[in-house]
Structure 1
Amino acid sequence: MPVSDGPAVTRSTLRQQIADALRDEILAGRLSPGQEFTVKEIAEGYGVSATPVREALVDLSAQGLLDSAQHRGFRVHEYSFADYRAMIEARSLVADGIFRGLADDPSRAPRTAVDLAGVRRRGEEASRAAGAGDLNVLIGYDLRFWRELSALFGNPYLSDFFHRLRVQSWMCAVPHLRAAGDLRGRLWAGHCELVDALVNRDPDAAHALIASYNNDSLSLIEALTGR
């Protein structure tokens, strides 16, 4: 049974709540790459019927987080280092496009310090968690930071795609990061500098920060996997 005591789930948005809860279990490392489970096990763990669980698992499979294991249910997808490198490249291209678009087109979104106060708060929390090596807090705030920042571009399809990439890249990194022990000072914490680059309409500064972030992420996972 992958989830011993599932959180209380109401029936209003059951499918999405179950999908979100299982995604959090994966990112927290409580569901490991390759781990298998059935619809029945998840339904019993959350005390709900099988239908919304099956729908949630199908949704997570479509997002690349789970694989359907024929006659056995589902398993947590196992990503390779090559997958991680490709994700880093993809998210770099998307982030660069977002920042250049926001800098070049004033009509897309407001970008004053006041308008970006919420994004900055997420960035501050993410930076603090990174400095403390608190992976659980960092992942939550980092995903919210990038989701809200990418939403400024005004293209929900791009924002959703970028969010999925970031979830997948965290999923790749989590097993290695959790096995590393003390992460203080080893995790990227430049979120607020990115907000400053956006306020200043400086895509070159944003590009340099994103490149640094991605290089640091790759180097860290390479070191942790002995590559």
Structure 2
Amino acid sequence: MEQSAQGSTGTGAPAGPGTDDRARVPAQARSGAVGYGQVADRARCGPTDDARGEHTRSEAPSPALGFARPGGSPSPSRPVIQRASVRGQILDALRTALVTGELLPGEVYSAPVLGERFGVSATPVREAMQQLALEGAVEVVPNRGFRVIVRGARELAELTEVRALIEVPVMLRLARTVPGERWTELRPLAEASVRAAASGCRATYAEADRIFHRSLLALSGNEQLVAIADDLHRRSQWPLTGGPARRGRADLVADAAEHLSLLEALTAGELDVVQALVREHFAGASG
């Protein structure tokens, strides 16, 4: 059984009427809370600069993260965890926290402590963490919990190179074989990625970016290729330690704009432009 280095997380705020079928995130006696935002909403971003695990910081919780206000009164925007598909919701929340940097590289997180924060047992949290371990995001620390993997610029460059080796040839092949109207069908996804980038939220854009790339590759009809490329893409979105500064809003907007340019070139059948845009897109992803 994992255990935190600083004891319990505090007591939960009382539930209001009509909330018997769902569990609310409890108030925190000590925060540094991993501000996961609303579990069912992967688009929500929270502050990332000062986020710490239960065992590393001691400060008042922020209502923006969805925890109860000091004194126990709940924030109107407190997130709820639906009891159906709890493990999936927790996994989504933890993946978002990885992308935004709220789960800090090198830090150890306890499943029981995180479970208390989400208002669930440790079991779905532990199951979600075990999935993240399979994905290479965390590693098991016996009798303590899970440590977030520390990643550097070299690993990102290697992931980007492998992605390019897989995706570039496939995109060029699809550019020669897929009719123009099929590419037009993907335009709403590209536009969604532009809106996500404009929000400045890394987690929102990360999801929209992966959906666009996955949908594009799905035209190949090769499910194994899509699954492998999607896994590599997800890994490449985790923040670095000791690497380049995080990509800001302008970088995300420029990246998303390339999706629209790529679709226009694919629709027009301009293979040279497609090749240049795809290679430039991956080159920017490693920076």
Question: Aligned residues, how many?
Answer: 212
Shift of 1:68: 1.3
Partner of 1:224: none
Shift of 1:50: 2.3
Measured in 2, the distance between the counterparts of 1:61 and 1:96 equals: 28
Match among 62, 84, 90 for residue 12 of structure 1: 84
2:262 paired with 1:194: yes
Partner of 1:138: 205
Distance 1:88 1:10, change over 3 A: same
Shift of 1:89: 0.5
Letter in 2 for 1:90: V
Shift of 1:13: 2.1
Q: Which has the higher contact order (CA 8 A, sep 6+)?
A: 1
Measured in 1, the distance between the counterparts of 2:268 and 2:169 equals: 16
CA-to-aligned-CA distance 1:2-59 (integer Å, 9 cap, x gap): 5357632323322222111100111122112112101112211212222222221111
TM-score by length of 2: 0.64
Measured in 2, the distance between the counterparts of 1:137 and 1:16 equals: 17
Structure having the higher helix fraction is 1
CA-to-aligned-CA distance 1:116-162 (integer Å, 9 cap, x gap): 44521221232355467553442232122112212222222211211
Measured in 1, the distance between the counterparts of 2:199 and 2:35 equals: 29
Stretches of structure 1 that go unaligned for 5 or more consecutive residues are 222-227
RMSD value, Cα: 2.8
Partner of 1:3: 34
Please tell me whether Structure 1 or Structure 2 has the larger radius of gyration of its CA atoms.
Answer: 2
Shift of 1:93: 1.3
Measured in 1, the distance between the counterparts of 2:267 and 2:187 equals: 11
> Which stretch of structure 1 is more off in the superposition, 138-147 or 195-204?
195-204
CA-to-aligned-CA distance 1:153-210 (integer Å, 9 cap, x gap): 22222112111111111114598544x7x54257423001222233234444322112
Measured in 1, the distance between the counterparts of 2:35 and 2:281 equals: 36
Partner of 2:160: 88
8 Å Cα contact 1:88-1:169 kept in structure 2 = yes
SS in 2 for 1:79: coil
Partner of 2:228: 161
> Which stretch of structure 1 is more off in the superposition, 131-140 or 58-67?
131-140
8 Å Cα contact 1:96-1:206 kept in structure 2 = no
TM-score by length of 1: 0.79
8 Å Cα contact 2:180-2:269 kept in structure 1 = no
2:117 paired with 1:45: yes
Identity of aligned residues (%): 29
Match among 8, 15, 22 for residue 94 of structure 2: 22
Distance 1:37 1:215, change over 3 A: same
SS in 2 for 1:12: coil
